Amino acid sequence: MSMPIAFYICLTLILSIFYGIDGYFYHRLVQCRYSSKDLHGIEFIDSYYFNQAEYVRFNSTVGKYVGYTEYGVKNAEAWNRDYLAQELGELERVCKPSADIDYSAVLDKTVEPHVRLSSVTPPSGRHPAMLMCSAYDFYPKPIRVTWLRDGHEVKSDVTSTEELANGDWYYQIHSHLEYTPKSGEKISCMVEHISLTEPMMYHWDPSLPEAERNKIAIGASGLVLGTILALAGLIYYKKKSSGVL
């Protein structure tokens, strides 16, 4: 066990005994930071804290321990003299072998967005209509949502939220288009994401307002269900009348 680690463990135990869990507190944070999959710019960072304040850090890019307090400066001088060679090797020993695992377990994963195109009430403005294109539960974060009218990208009267974190690794985004309907035009929402092999197009059907389409769908479902129940009742009645039941 290296001297910094042993010192950290022993001191934590000693302080816990004499001061209890509400007393002074040391902790250590070791990080491997990746900025690209080819490991260019990878950093190994080893930080030491006392009462939540970082007092000394080793950064593989800097190549030595650096102290941030009087106590940290003294430790940095001693550790640079006695343990620097071991710390310099942690980048190769810890970070690089772990990169493939990290990327395959998390960073290479993708989840396709669920997209919903709907009509919403516009704010008071120049246009009487507004559409909202919402993408839900996608990963990773970067995504592009654009509007098309008759195949041409629309850049005016468009507002979009940032990618919003759901709190469970997934994201959502909402884009709004204010417009004045024109007869025969085709309005589409195009979504581009790394999980998709090609951009996905979602076309708006302006034939009926969404509320009316929902009413029709509910009415049709009720009609089908009523027909099935009526048919079942008729069959039951006939069997009972003929003495089959």
Per-residue pLDDT of the chain (245 residues; tens, 9 = 90+): 444 444 444 444 444 444 445 567 889 999 988 877 777 788 999 999 998 899 999 999 999 999 999 999 999 999 999 999 999 999 989 888 888 777 777 667 899 999 999 999 888 777 889 999 999 999 999 999 999 999 999 989 999 999 999 988 899 999 999 999 888 899 999 999 999 999 999 999 877 555 544 544 465 456 567 677 777 776 766 666 666 55
Regarding the domain delimited by 3-107, which CATH topology (the fold level of the hierarchy) does it fall under? 3.10.320
Per domain, the residue ranges of the chain are: 3-107, 114-203
- Please give the C-alpha separations between residue 208 and each of 43, 54, 128, 213, in angstroms, as whole numbers: 57, 62, 15, 6
Domains 3-107 and 114-203 are alike in CATH topology? no
Phi and psi (nearest 5°) for 160?
-135, 150
Regarding the domain delimited by 114-203, which CATH topology (the fold level of the hierarchy) does it fall under? Immunoglobulin-like (2.60.40)
pLDDT score, position 5 = 46
| Residue 9 in tokens | 């463990």
pLDDT score, position 9 = 44
Contact between 135 and 141 under an 8 Å Cβ cutoff? The reply is no
pLDDT score, position 22 = 56
pLDDT score, position 56 = 96
Q: Is the dihedral of CA 75, 77, 78, 79 positive or negative?
A: positive
pLDDT score, position 7 = 43
Contact between 57 and 65 under an 8 Å Cβ cutoff? The reply is yes
